[in-house]
Amino acid sequence: MNSKHSNGHNFWQDKRVWVTGGGGFLGAFLVEGLKQRGAREVFAPRSREYDLREIGDVRRALRDLNPNLIIHAAARVGGIGANREHPAEFFYDNLMMGAQLMHEAYKSNVEKFVALGTVCAYPKFTPVPFHEDDLWNGYPEETNAPYGLAKKMLLVQSQTYREQYGFNAIYLLPVNLYGPRDNFDPASSHVIPALIRKCVEAKERGDDSIVVWGDGSPTREFLFVQDAAEGILLAAEKYNDPAPVNLGSAYEISIKDLVELIARLTGFEGKLVWDKTKPNGQPRRKLDTTRAKNEFGFVSQTPFEQGLRETIDWYVANHGAQRANGKLQMAIR
């Protein structure tokens, strides 16, 4: 990750930074990026130390860590299967973590709060490419709506707290992330790690086919996790306005083409069988990334196939430790 941006090191040098979810997929790259930028005090406690759904734990964490800046990357996430099985938990956990943390951060005089939303907050039928001004023009895609709406409330909270209290909270909308160290658990993984695992294991077993959810027609945009961390840190340094900002790669690919590409890169030569009884998820996803470029100079750097190869290489090298029991669910989120 390139950390040499204007004033980046100076900005972070005297900051006490709390990254919630810092042990997670994105959070770990944020912590690494902060250290590269010269941040001396970075805190990434686990949920077992502070359960952000519990107001007492939130208050205790703020007392213990005394952060100047919070990057709220913690979230209860999963693919279509996990969202369908746990909609209430996805709504409650994400809403409570975000609302309580931002409120208590304001009360504790935290200087800046970086809230991470989700592309799932967009309406199901949003004009492509998705522009931030279209966020409120409809209801999200049903399978992800409880999660998407819970995270969307952070936008409302950040804007109202800025308006009434002068609290410096910003709201970023990352598109679907992927990369090394992603979650490959069959019960909760998203589409790219799910497909990689499915193809690698099918190849190892000598299977002549794999089954994929839906019909392959939806499109998705994916952002390499290190690029996402770079965009978030640039926004933390340079962006101080109420308007939400998309973070994406501006590269759109159909699920059908994605499956075929991953099969080719993993060396799986069997047949692809589409289970059309399973949901497709949102029809199209592609973000307008103009605002991020104009406001804080973020443009993703990793070509999609290169990022996929790095992710596959990591999984092949580590997947013995990633195995879990259960049926693999294709997660198109």
Q: Mind telling me the catalytic residues?
A: 147
Question: Listing from the earlier edge strand, what are the strands of the sheet with 69-72?
Answer: 41-43, 16-20, 69-72, 112-116, 169-174, 245-247
Q: Hey, what amino acid is at 182? A: D
Residue 98, phi then psi, degrees to nearest 5: -70, -50
The span from the CA of 28 to the CA of 229, in Å, is: 9
Q: How many CA atoms lie within 13 A of 40 on its CB side?
A: 5
Judged by DSSP in three states, 211 sits in strand
Counting beta carbons within 10 angstroms of the beta carbon of residue 269, is it exposed (0 to 12), middle (13 to 18) or buried (19 or more)? exposed
Chain-centroid distance of CA 116 in Å reads 8
Which structure tokens are listed for 244? Answer: 């939400």
* Other CB atoms within 10 A of residue 114 CB: 23
Question: Helix, strand, coil: what percent of the chain each, to 5?
Answer: 45, 15, 40
In this structure, the strands spanning 69-72 and 169-174 are: unpaired
The span from the CA of 114 to the CA of 155, in Å, is: 10
